[in-house]
Each structure stands twice: as C-alpha cells, then as structure tokens.
Amino acid sequence: MGATLPGLLSALLLLLLPASLRVRDQLLLASHRREAEDGIGGGLHPIVLIPGLSCPDLEARLTDAYRPLKPGCSRVEGEGWFGLWTNRTWELDVERAECFVEQMRLVYDPVLGDFRNLPGVETRVPYFGSAAGSGSKIPTHPEFCMGALRSALGRLGYREGETLFGAPYDPRYAPPMPGQTSQFYSRYFRQMARLIEDASERNNGRPAIVLGHSFGGAVALEFVRNAPLQWRDRFVKHLITVAPTWSGGYVRPLTAFVSGLDLFFIPAAPQLAMRSMWRTFETAVWRPYRPRRCLGADRW
Ligand SMILES: *[C@@H]1O[C@H](CO)[C@@H](O)[C@H](O)[C@H]1NC(C)=O
C-alpha cells in the first residue's frame, strides 16, 4: 500500500490538472515520491481535511440593519452569535426553518462584483483549524462528513490539533474564477496557508497533505492551484481530492437549481422552500469543469 499510494496520487492529480500544469506537477510528484520513499518511518505528515458542501458549520449574528420578511425571524435565542447551520439545525420547527432559509441567503452585489449576506446578517465559520468541527449534520448518518476517515486516521496515529486539522469554509461561496473578486476566499486562502505553515512547523517542517472531499476537493484544488509554486513545493506534500465534484455531474446541479437541494437536511423545510435559498448561493451556479489558469501569487 505504502509503495502504491504515491503512484495512485499522481495518477489522480494528473487527471485533475489541465495539460499546462501536468508536466510541472509530474516533476513535483516525482520528487515527492522520492522523499516518501526516503522518509518512511520519519513521522506523520500533517493532514488538513476540507469537507463536503453540507459539512462546515455556519454561525450568524443579526444587527439592527436586519429587516426580516417575517417579523419572528429577528428574535433569536439571546443576543450575539448563534448557530445557523449546525448539527442541531435539523431540529428547527417550521417557523424557524423559514428564518433559516431567509438568513442563509446571499445577495449579489454588482458594484463589488461579489456575493454577500443580506443586510443586517453577519456570518462566520467556526472551528477553523479543527477537523472535528465539521461533523455530520444528519443524526442517522454520523459517518458523513469524513467521520469514517477521521476515525481511520485516528487509528493510524493522527491526532486533532497535532497532525490532523480541518479547514471548513462557508458553503455558500464558490472558489473564484480568475480575475473574480471573492472576499470570502481571499481571506480563506490566507488562513489556510497559515494553518498549513503552522501544522508543518509543529511537525518538524514536514509538508502537509491537503485532502478535500466532494466540493471540498474543488476548494482544495483551487487553494493549491492559487498557491505560489515555491510555497506549494515547500508546504504541500500531496493534494488528494476525493470525488471532487457532485456525484450527479452536470445534471444534479441543474436539477437542484430547478427544484431545490436536499443537501441541507432540515425536515421542517420542504425542498421547494429551500430552493429560494439555494438559488442565491454562488455554489449553485458554480461549474466544476470551467477552464482555469494558474494565478500565481496575486491573490495572496
Ligand atoms: C455537534 O457539533 C458539536 C460541535 O462540533 C460537537 O461538539 C457535538 O459533539 C456534535 N453533536 C453530534 C451529535 O454530533
């Protein structure tokens, strides 16, 4: 297994990369392969998990600028930050589910050329850095959101905060196209770089493995692709993307756009009610196979 993994990884990577990047990455992978063969027994490489679309939590805070369509939606338990999308959201009653659908919405700002929250709604992604913070949101499927993988990594000796990390993101935003503004991803890519540098430092300078599942695979790929080559060479041991697009290929995003998406599991909110929310997400109109180019350092 140890001997075939690098081969598997390079095959996977080469399939995912545009031709212009393949030769360079093949060289990089060859050097990584040699290192892996030399360095067996030298300790674990830190691993950063980037989970699928429905996995990261989202917290919100309402300000006086919030003008809810339904008056009840401005009343939330206590003041300050509250869990908007969490592993408890499935418990919402019909009324609160309507508020969820409203407060999750994004609006496109043509002046900014970027998406943002509704006026008066502030959001943040908690548990950045933690792999355990992005657990399954569906009580009957605790293994979702890389739960099974985290357990397996634990058996291999990986420990949260030492060698095992997570980089949850705001699932409503999509990684930007070349030249496109993305306030969310500008910050996220910087945070991710710091996370990886710190993880590497804690582990005797060993570069990190970046592993993304599903939409997280696309996020991982865009992160690595946007990283300056020298930085990448120094800090990224492997990029692993597992099922890095929707299982439905082109068709599922289209049907979700037409009839809503069941990924955000809230029994009290019918799929059609979720449609109005989903359609405002940048991720809803993101196309996995659009042409891209490597941007180098300009987003850092
Ligand atoms: C829900 O998420 C929190 C925060 O990550 C975690 O502490 C808790 O164990 C989770 N609960 C379940 C049932 O997964």
Give the pLDDT of residue 180: 83
Tokens of residue 10, six digits: 């390079």
Question: What is the residue with the minimal CA distance to atom 6 of ligand 1?
Answer: 133
Q: How far is the CA of 87 from the centre of ligand 1 (A)?
A: 6
Domains of the chain, each with CATH number or no CATH: 44-300 (3.40.50)
SS3 assignment, position 279: coil
Q: Which one of 87, 88, 136, 144 would you pick to mutate in the ligand 1 pocket, going by the greatest count of ligand atoms within 8 A of its CB?
A: 87
Ligand 1 atom index nearest CA of 139:
13
Q: In this predicted structure, what is the pLDDT of residue 246?
A: 62
Write the residue with the smallest CA distance to atom 7 of ligand 1.
133
CB 90 within 8 Å of CB 266? yes
Determine the distance separating the centroid of ligand 1 and the alpha carbon of 47, expressed in angstroms.
21
Mean pLDDT by 10 residues, the chain (300 residues): 44 43 46 46 87 95 90 78 95 93 94 93 97 92 93 96 98 87 95 98 97 93 94 97 74 81 85 88 73 39
Q: Is 229 helix (H, G, I), strand (E, B) or coil?
A: helix
pLDDT of residue 296: 39
| Largest CA-CA distance found in the chain, in angstroms, rounded | 64
Q: How far is the CA of 62 from the centre of ligand 1 (A)?
A: 23
- 175 DSSP 8-state letter: P
The pLDDT of residue 134 is 93
Task: Looking at the CA of residue 127, tell me the nearest atom of ligand 1.
Answer: 5
Question: Token pair for residue 168?
Answer: 């949850």
Residue 248 confidence (pLDDT): 61
Q: To which H or E segment does residue 115 belong?
A: strand 114-117
Between the CA of 137 and the centroid of ligand 1 the distance, in Å, is: 9
pLDDT the model gives residue 272: 83
Residue whose pair of structure tokens reads 């692993």 in the numeric block: 240
CA 182/CA 283 separation, integer angstroms: 13
CA 136 to centroid of ligand 1, rounded, Å? 8
Give a three-class secondary structure readout of 16-37: HCCHHHHHHHHHHHHHHHHHHH
The helix/strand/coil state of 90 is helix
On whether the CB atoms of residues 50 and 167 are closer than 8 A, the answer is yes
**Nearest 10 degrees: CA dihedral of 138, 140, 142, 145?**
-40
